[in-house]
Amino acid sequence: MLRCGRHTFDLARPLVMGIVNVTPDSFSDGGRYLDAARALAQARRLRDDGADLVDVGGESTRPGATPVAEADELARVIPLVETLAAEGVAVAVDTRKPAVMRAAIAAGASMINDIGALAAPGAMEAVAASDVGVCLMHMRGEPRTMQKAPAYGDVVAEVRDFLAARAQACVAAGIARERIAIDPGFGFGKTLAHNLELLHSLGTLAATGYPVLAGLSRKSSLGELTGRSVDDRLPASLAAALAAVARGAAIVRVHDVRETVDALAVWSAVERGAR
Ligand code: 9MG
């Protein structure tokens, strides 16, 4: 089970989190949903396509992205959260800012998706004071510089130990285990080789007992593997989502919800038939 405010998810089947970036410069759908009405329409489409959660973000996290002012992030994200939550949608909010977390939770968000794993002062307290779920992601460095020669000794062990320690800190702060998901942060201060090693060994993260979220959709590693541009990475994204779920991912964060839901339906039926 994953408890996210008024939504409780049964993890017997993989969950699909749909992405809505309300930013002018996100790496794959940048600018397209900056307009609030279009962002809302996109979020509703993802819900109708079968997303279990819709992840709304007002600050780009792509490599090289520059930070966004708190007021701008609030203005981009909060009205959308209010509308979607009122419609019963389970809304995750992708933010590192405690003030945005608090406002999002007050507006009805069900999950905080933090690429900084609640490291900002006040972030853990903001989540602990609520009943929402949280996704703790691993990132080496900052989006602006993180792809400049990232290096690890044992990437899988380092990422696992970091996430286990952050989850333990959350539990100590009063966030129940059932509210926590962890995420290796594909592409966040990682080379293609690091990403492949993490994906191959995702079971090592799942063995921590926390549900693992995998975000590979349209990412540059898939471009490196296939030679495809960002708008032409659907088959690669589907393969990556299935590979992640086959290795223990409980949640996949994707742009293409309808196609991912279909792919998972086939994969799950085969798995059930094989058992
Ligand atoms: C916001 N964001 C972009 N990529 C992501 C990923 O891989 N995981 C999570 N949790 N958030 C992400």
The residues with which 213 forms a beta bridge, in sequence order, are 251
Full-model pTM: 0.95
* CA-nearest residue, atom 4 of ligand 1: 215
| pLDDT given for residue 143 in this prediction | 78
Q: pLDDT tens across 216-248, in order?
A: 999 999 999 999 999 999 999 999 999 999 999
* CA-nearest residue, atom 5 of ligand 1: 215
Express as a percent the part of the chain with pLDDT over 90: 85
What the block records as the tokens of 190 is 């990682």
Please indicate whether residue 189, judged by its CB atom, sits closer than 6 Å to ligand 1.
no
* CA-nearest residue, atom 8 of ligand 1: 215
Q: pLDDT tens across 117-165, in order?
A: 999 999 999 999 999 999 999 999 877 776 777 889 999 999 999 999 9
Which residues are annotated as catalytic? 219, 253
| pLDDT given for residue 34 in this prediction | 53
Please indicate whether residue 186, judged by its CB atom, sits closer than 6 Å to ligand 1.
yes
Question: How many angstroms separate the alpha carbon of residue 187 from the centre of ligand 1?
Answer: 9
* CA-nearest residue, atom 6 of ligand 1: 215
Q: Which residues contact 211 (CB under 8 A, 6 or more apart)?
A: 2, 11, 180, 181, 182, 250, 251
| pLDDT given for residue 31 in this prediction | 52
Instruction: Give the confidence band of 28 by pLDDT, cuts at 50, 70, 90.
Output: low
Please indicate whether residue 133, judged by its CB atom, sits closer than 6 Å to ligand 1.
no
Please indicate whether residue 14, judged by its CB atom, sits closer than 6 Å to ligand 1.
no
CA–CA separation, 80 and 99 (whole Å)? 16
Q: What is the DSSP string of 209-240?
A: SSPEEE--TT-HHHHHHH---GGG-HHHHHHH
- Residue from 183, 202, 251 whose mutation best tests the ligand 1 pocket (most atoms within 8 A of CB): 183
**Residue in the block written with tokens 């949640």:** 251
Residue 71 pLDDT greater than 60, yes or no = yes
Question: How many angstroms separate the alpha carbon of residue 273 from the centre of ligand 1?
Answer: 32
Question: How many angstroms separate the alpha carbon of residue 214 from the centre of ligand 1?
Answer: 8
Contact between 252 and 267 (Cβ < 8 Å)? no
Angle at 25 between CA 242 and CA 89, to 5 degrees: 55
112: left (phi over 0), alpha (psi -120 to 50) or beta: beta
Please indicate whether residue 215, judged by its CB atom, sits closer than 6 Å to ligand 1.
yes
Least confident window among 28-37, 107-116, 155-164: 28-37
* CA-nearest residue, atom 1 of ligand 1: 94
More confident residue, 37 or 274: 37
The rounded Cα 41 to chain-centroid distance in angstroms is 20
Cα(first)–Cα(last) distance of the chain, in Å?
A: 22
Mean pLDDT for 58-74 is 88
Instruction: Give the confidence band of 192 by pLDDT, cuts at 50, 70, 90.
Output: very high
Instruction: Give the confidence band of 267 by pLDDT, cuts at 50, 70, 90.
Output: very high
Q: Measured from the CA of 57, which atom of ligand 1 is nearest?
A: 1
Mean pLDDT for 161-187 is 98
| pLDDT given for residue 35 in this prediction | 72
- Residue from 94, 147, 195, 217 whose mutation best tests the ligand 1 pocket (most atoms within 8 A of CB): 94
Please indicate whether residue 255, judged by its CB atom, sits closer than 6 Å to ligand 1.
no
